[in-house]
Amino acid sequence: MAGPSPGALPAPDRTAAKPTVPVSGLPLSGLAAALPAPVWSQPGRAYPQGLSSVDTPMARMGAILLGIYLALHACYMPEFMAVYFGFSIPIVAGTGVAVLAVWLFSGRFSRFFENRIAAAFVLLFVWWLLSALIYSFRGYVMDMIQYGIRFHSAPVIFGGILLNFGLLRIAMNTYALGFVAGLILTWRFGISDATGRFSVPDISLANPNDLALNLLLGATFMTVFLVNANLIKRVFWLCCTLGSLYLMLRTGSRANLITLLVIVAVGWFISSGRARIAILAGGLLMLILFAVMVPRSSWLRLTTFMSASSEELSGGEHLEGAIASTEARRGLQVRAMKITLLNPIFGIGPNMFIYALDDYMRTQESAAKGTWLHPHNTYLDVSSETGLVGVAFYIGVIFWCLYTNYRNVRWAQLWSATAGDALGISSALLLATTAFSFGTLFCSIPYTGQLPFLVALTAANTLAMRDAGLQRYAAPAPLAPLNYGPAR
């Protein structure tokens, strides 16, 4: 479905200098006044309005295929098929080839590079590959090249296919449905281990922390269901969100509980009026509901963030294990910092941390052997394996996603009466980026598709807003309630 028509909005003057009086007639002030003019609002630059109304069968097919490709990654379908259904077909590769064909047919190969982040994102992969060529095993070099082809190319391909809000909404709705499918599969095949922690054995979601982060990402992307939602869609969103949060709490992931609180705080900050009341009421309702449904062992683990007293430890061996887990993770992260300082430029090579840790513990700590574990922190994983330069690029890309999605929410709120798609998509991307940026503080998932997908969707949304004329030179009006448009 096509996004809002550009003709319904006043066309921004792209040749005039940046005015000193905003559209609202209020003086520039605060954070909004400090926001730099986007690159597309610089005088003398013109962009075609026609891209915002592209809605051909080929364009819709491309958005659907792209959404299916994302959905297959979201629900880990190939792994579930191979492990739990007993067969394997190259469904992801086939869908990826189809998406690539649509992109080649579109002819828009350089649209992503109209974003400011493009150079830094390319340099991030170049630095990682250079580090791998210098230090990693040959097999890991090939893994890094494969990562670049499969994932790091995503923003370029997405930019040539997702040309407006209608196409973006198709892709993101399909992506969110992939998380729903993953939720169903997780509910069906997930089990609780001896300590009471919920996970899905034998696949990438076997680590409860990784599963919890995936469930949180799904819950944030599912907010796109609220765009132009009727009552049935809202009930469907509520059921899926409650299911995701319930399973997330059953994982006993203390780190992702913190991430959930940060997501709620960001949602509160960008909302106002009735939306804030709804967040409060929903939070209290979920707290009461989950207090009854979530096992006691999970709640006890969720309360042990740093340490516990002897009285608390008397609660059981599982709680004592949680404390030991916290202390072990802290020790791993301290060692990761030391390894980073010993190898500050290129690091030790992608996927080489466990080998470097074993060597460090043998030589520096006189241990019999290393722990052969990752640091449970993606930022420390990247810094130790690709150096301070590599992690600087990595953090810069994440910060750009946070900043750009927040700015897009503010611009969309300026047009809240006519830009429901832009506001809903931008809000979902901001919440998802928040989940990823905080959740990866406690997980080691540096070379996966989550960040490239976030960059790709953020860049495509930003370009769609540009082409629809939703950005203005002036500061946005004060925060408006999240208005997702009329129900359909």
pLDDT digits (tens, 9 = 90+) for 357-371: 888 888 887 777 767
Of residues 18 and 466, the one with the higher pLDDT is 466
Instruction: Please list the residues that pair with 198 across neighbouring strands.
Output: 192
Tokens of 146: 């494969």
Residue 278 contacts residue 226 (beta carbons within 8 Å): no
Lowest pLDDT segment from 108-117, 129-138, 269-278, 332-341: 269-278
Which phi-psi region, left, alpha or beta, contains residue 193 (left: φ > 0; alpha: ψ -120 to 50)?
beta
Give the integer Cα–Cα distance in Å for 51 and 428: 23
Most confident of 52-61, 121-130, 334-343, 407-416: 121-130
The model's pLDDT over 63-87, given as tens digits with 9 standing for 90+, comes to: 999 999 999 999 999 999 999 998 8
Q: What is the model's pLDDT at position 67? A: 95
- Contact 395/377 with Cβ under 8 angstroms? no
CB-CB contact of 423 with 409 (8 Å): yes
pLDDT-derived band at 184, boundaries 50, 70, 90: very high
Mean pLDDT of 437-448: 88
pLDDT digits (tens, 9 = 90+) for 244-295: 988 988 888 878 888 888 998 898 888 877 777 877 777 777 777 666 666 6
Q: In angstroms, rounded to a whole number, what is the distance separating the alpha carbons of residues 199 and 197? A: 7
Contact 397, 422 (CB under 8 A): no
C-alpha 178/C-alpha 308 separation (Å) is 39
- Per the CB < 8 A criterion, the answer to whether 241 and 291 are in contact is no
| CB neighbourhood size of 277 (10 A) | 11
Domain boundaries defined on the chain? 42-467
Range 121-148 burial, b when 16+ CB lie within 10 A, else e: bbebbebbbbbbeebbeeebbebbeebb
Question: Across the chain, what does the average pLDDT equal?
Answer: 78
